[in-house]
């Protein structure tokens, strides 16, 4: 059996109209599209950003252009047509892309990792600046702790005065099984001057990061993630710190229950009334999307567990123009295949209102492997939804 991971970019104006459009509308004319990006081998998508011309840039990891993993960036126009693609990496090391920002000058700032080939799980942050047409403007700069958990999630956020925050996981010691949340603030892209680099965690817990943001009202930083109580139970963790990295508060959501909860993404609410965080809650091996709204003091205003009869996972949340939220992740789908009935994850897209109440749910995928939606946003151009994720294809020889 051969298998291949490729990107899925899915762009929707109105999700309820999409099924009827699949066979009748030319995607390049309608604005609805599904596009696949990458080369002949495996690719995994992690993030996207909208560009000034209405198009999008996608970042991830590719195996198609070198024997080792490389950073992969692609640019598509507003209709999803690829305009260029770029890979970057040292053939003697393992690299990958994790997040991307569009800078004020139109350049692209890519966050990823670099690790030695002999120890690909342990490396450092990698920052790469590209021009708007995909040319390398500033070659890859290696930043921060050498004990970065290289294959874990990493996120990037812009602060005031051209400062940038990087978040990932750092191992407590080389090849250790546990890690802490690790935040680095850079004050100058030209020199990569580090204002602070700090780890946040408890000795007996393994922590994984979700996304990080800068609050426009306070300029404080908020991030979410997961804190493992033991080998079976975990909590969504939400943290607030000042511009120097000093903690204001650090709370676990659901610390005293018997559920496994994770945190994957945090965003500012559309009305600026607080923060919205998404993750997954597991009750006795039954998974649902977990959506939590907090105020700026960390008080939980409400929480919702969203799902159906099958398992669902929350990976990304974004505010929408109507005051609600759009969510992506994965949902298990039961389907008939040449090998019989199978249960595999498909990409989940869910719309909820301002109170977290579901309005509609849709799934997409090829039902051959663990498909997942990694990040979703509402386009500023026409209020459509842009989703990036990864789809597995399997070639089955009977």
Query: Tell me: the pLDDT tens digits for 147-206?
Result: 898 888 999 999 988 899 999 999 987 767 789 999 999 998 888 999 999 999 877 788
How far the first Cα of the chain sits from its last, in Å, is 10
Q: How far apart are CA 308 and CA 283, in angstroms?
A: 13
In tens, the pLDDT along 260-292 reads: 999 999 999 999 999 999 999 998 889 999 999
pLDDT surpassing 60 at residue 390: yes
Residue 9: predicted pLDDT: 53
pLDDT given for residue 172 in this prediction: 81
Q: Is 7's pLDDT higher than 50?
A: no
Contact 370, 349 (CB under 8 A): no
For residue 49, is pLDDT > 90?
yes
Report pLDDT for 279. 97
Lowest mean pLDDT among 15-29, 39-53, 292-306: 15-29
Q: Is residue 326 a contact partner of residue 318, using CB atoms and an 8 Å limit?
A: yes
Cα separation of 359 and 350, whole Å? 8
Q: Which residue has the higher pLDDT, 112 or 343?
A: 112
SS3 state at 132: coil
Listed range (35-44, 75-84, 110-119, 349-358) with the worst mean pLDDT: 35-44
Helix (H) or strand (E) holding 20: helix 18-21
SS3 108: strand
Residue 110 has pLDDT above 60, yes or no: yes
Looking at every residue in the chain, the average pLDDT score rounds to: 86
For the stretch 149-160, pLDDT in tens is 888 899 999 998
Q: Which two tokens stand for residue 241?
A: 């710190």
34 neighbors 18 (Cβ within 8 angstroms): no
The candidate with the shortest Cα–Cα distance to 152, out of 107, 233, 191, 210, is 210
What is the percentage of the chain residues whose pLDDT exceeds 90? Answer: 57
How many other CB atoms are found less than 10 A from the CB of residue 217? 8
pLDDT at residue number 366:
64
In the chain, what is the greatest distance between 2 CA atoms, to the nearest angstrom?
A: 60
Taking the model in full, what pTM does it have?
Answer: 0.89
Q: What is the pLDDT of residue 178?
A: 85
What does the pLDDT read at residue 369?
67
State mean pLDDT over 347-351.
94
Model confidence at 245, pLDDT cuts 50, 70, 90, reads very high
Give the mean model confidence (pLDDT) for residues 6-28: 39
Spatial distance between the Cα atoms of 311 and 304, rounded to a whole number of angstroms: 15
Buried b (16+ CB within 10 A) or exposed e, 355-386: ebebeebbbbbebbbebbbbbbbbbeeeebbb
Q: What is the mean pLDDT of residues 248-269?
A: 91
Residues 125, 44, 381, 319, CA torsion sign = negative
pLDDT category at 6 given cuts 50, 70, 90 is: very low
**Amino acid 29: pLDDT:** 62
């Amino acid at each position: 059996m051969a298998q291949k991971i490729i990107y899925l970019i899915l762009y929707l104006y109105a999700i309820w109209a999409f099924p009827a459009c699949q066979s009748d509308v030319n995607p390049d004319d309608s604005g609805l599209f599904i596009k696949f990006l990458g080369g002949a081998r495996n690719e995994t998508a992690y993030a996207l950003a909208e560009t000034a011309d209405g198009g999008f840039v996608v970042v991830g990891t590719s195996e198609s252009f070198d024997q080792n993993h490389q950073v992969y960036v692609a640019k598509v126009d507003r209709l999803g047509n690829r305009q260029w693609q770029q890979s970057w990496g040292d053939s003697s090391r393992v690299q990958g892309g994790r997040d991307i920002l569009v800078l004020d000058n139109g350049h692209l700032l890519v966050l990823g990792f670099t690790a030695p080939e002999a120890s690909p799980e342990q490396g450092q942050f990698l920052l790469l600046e590209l021009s708007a047409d995909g040319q390398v403007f500033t070659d890859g700069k290696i930043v921060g702790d050498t004990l970065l958990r290289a294959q874990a999630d990493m996120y990037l956020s812009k602060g005031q005065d051209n400062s940038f925050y990087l978040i990932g996981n750092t191992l407590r010691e080389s090849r250790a099984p546990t890690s802490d949340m690790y935040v680095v603030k850079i004050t100058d892209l030209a020199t990569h001057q580090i204002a602070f680099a700090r780890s946040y965690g408890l000795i007996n817990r393994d922590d994984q990061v979700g996304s990080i943001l800068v609050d426009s009202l306070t300029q404080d930083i908020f991030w979410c993630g997961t804190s493992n109580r033991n080998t079976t139970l975990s909590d969504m963790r939400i943290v607030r710190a000042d511009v120097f990295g000093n903690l204001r508060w650090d709370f676990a959501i659901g610390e005293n229950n018997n559920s496994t909860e994770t945190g994957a993404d945090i965003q500012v609410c559309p009305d600026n009334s607080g923060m919205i965080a998404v993750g997954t809650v597991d009750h006795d091996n039954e998974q649902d999307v977990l959506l939590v709204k907090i105020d700026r003091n960390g008080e939980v205003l409400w929480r919702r567990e969203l799902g159906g009869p099958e398992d669902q996972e929350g990976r990304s949340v974004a505010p929408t123009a109507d005051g609600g939220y759009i969510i992506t992740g994965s949902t298990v789908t039961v389907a008939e295949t040449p090998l019989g009935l199978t249960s595999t994850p498909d990409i989940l897209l869910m719309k909820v209102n301002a109170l977290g109440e579901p309005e509609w749910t849709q799934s997409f995928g090829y039902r051959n492997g663990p498909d997942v939606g990694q990040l979703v946003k509402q386009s500023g151009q026409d209020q459509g939804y842009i989703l990036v994720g990864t789809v597995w294809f399997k070639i089955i020889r009977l």
